[in-house]
Amino acid sequence: MAILTPLTGLTLRQIEDSLASSGIDRTYALRVAYWIYRKRVGSFSEMTNIAGGIREKLSESFSSGFLRPAERLESADGSVKYLFDYPGGRKVETVFMPETRRNTVCVSSQSGCTRGCLYCRTGEMGLKGNLTAAEIVNQVLAIPESARLTHVVFMGMGEPLDNLQAVVQAIEILTAEWGLSIAHSRITVSTVGILPAVEQFLAKTRSNLTLSILSPISADRARLVPAERLFPAEKIMSVIRETAPSRRRRISLAYMMLEGINDTDSHLDALIKLISGTTIRVNLLRYHQSGNIMFRQSAPERMNLFRERLLAAGISASVRRSRGEDIGAACGLLGAGEC
């Protein structure tokens, strides 16, 4: 049996080249991309504006490449966690989060992670492998809620900027008119701050960037986020200050609050100093117990105090509502295979 080439995850130019190599006119590429990316159609027989003979030739050489989730788990708050079982034992989790005015999918960029952040369960897995652009885009196309999605966030398993090429290609497909046509302003990539990749991301995309900061004090952050030792947050902030104003994108900081660890007055003062004079937004996150008993959630009163002090300093800030904690889908809890 002939091995079929999957088309999901390819750019328009790559689809054109693939069709041409199989003797199919390049002009059909735009129609094929439309059916796969815009209509979420996985069968060539349903592509009704393509001649029957061409559909047959497509079926002989290609597949859509859709891979449906292997498992599904629904939270009491309406969030849904999906498990995808990719080749080579690379399991990844994807989370759909419905809200009144937006429907967001949180996608993974790696199976596991090498960064070893102490607050995150994914880091306990080690790295099982990078995902391809196809495997990233598939998480958007293959869930039942796909047609309802308004936002995509790269905040699932893995460090997106350790898989930059695949992430950038996935973003191209998600945002292109021939692709899913999602606005750059509705796509956000979260990172612990891999400095060379941050610079490339800012240069190559117009999507939003979130830096997971954990602490504005370098010595403290290095204990929580090992990447700080190589790529200090202060240096990353300098790059963001220089680059971001020339781009129409939102830059934000994710600050997971840990009782007695990073929620003191000195941490708050250092955080204000770090981002004063910028348009950067701070999202204050509640810690979810991932098995590390050295951490506890900051009290709601303390989180609100941080928010009020940041606002008083002219810094946009909010306390983010947790989603999917009861199914292990909240921030820091994804571990693959928990559905």
* pLDDT 10s digits, 50-107: 999 999 999 999 999 999 999 999 999 999 999 999 999 999 999 999 999 999 999 9
CATH architecture of the domain with range 71-327:
Alpha-Beta Barrel (3.20)
**Percent of the chain whose predicted confidence (pLDDT) is above 90:** 83
* pLDDT 10s digits, 192-247: 999 999 999 999 999 999 999 999 999 999 999 999 999 999 999 999 888 755 55
Q: What percent of the residues of the chain are helix, what percent strand, and what percent coil, each to the nearest 5?
A: 40, 20, 40
In sign, the C-alpha dihedral spanning 325, 330, 332, 333 is positive
Distance CA 204, CA 168 (A): 7
Task: Count the Cβ atoms, other than its own, within 10 Å of residue 318.
Answer: 13
Banded model confidence at residue 339, pLDDT cuts 50, 70, 90: very low
User: For residue 188, what are the β-bridge partners?
Assistant: 153, 208
Average pLDDT over residues 292-314: 93
Question: What is the residue whose two structure tokens read 């509705």?
Answer: 186
93 is catalytic: yes
Is pLDDT at 1 greater than 60 in this prediction? no
CA angle (254 as vertex; 249, 259 as ends), nearest 5:
165
The per-residue pLDDT for 161 is 98
> Of residues 106, 113, 117, 331, which has the active-site annotation?
331
| Whether the predicted model's global pTM rises above the 0.85 cut | yes
Distance CA 131, CA 328 (A): 21
Angle between helices 164-175 and 195-204 (to 10 degrees): 20
Distance CA 221, CA 109 (A): 23
* pLDDT 10s digits, 322-332: 888 888 877 88
Residue 199 corresponds to which tokens in the numbers above? 């610079």
The per-residue pLDDT for 326 is 85
CB 42 within 8 A of CB 98: no
Is pLDDT at 3 greater than 70 in this prediction? yes
* pLDDT 10s digits, 249-283: 899 999 999 999 999 999 999 999 999 989 999 99
Distance CA 301, CA 19 (A): 59
Determine the CATH number of domain 5-63: 1.10.150.530
In sign, the C-alpha dihedral spanning 279, 287, 222, 132 is negative
Residue 116 corresponds to which tokens in the numbers above? 């070893």
The per-residue pLDDT for 118 is 85
Question: What is the residue whose two structure tokens read 């390819």?
Answer: 10
Banded model confidence at residue 290, pLDDT cuts 50, 70, 90: low
Max Cα distance, the chain (Å): 70
Mean pLDDT, the chain, rounded, equals: 93
Distance CA 92, CA 88 (A): 12
Distance CA 43, CA 58 (A): 10
339 is catalytic: no
> Of residues 93, 135, 159, 228, which has the active-site annotation?
93
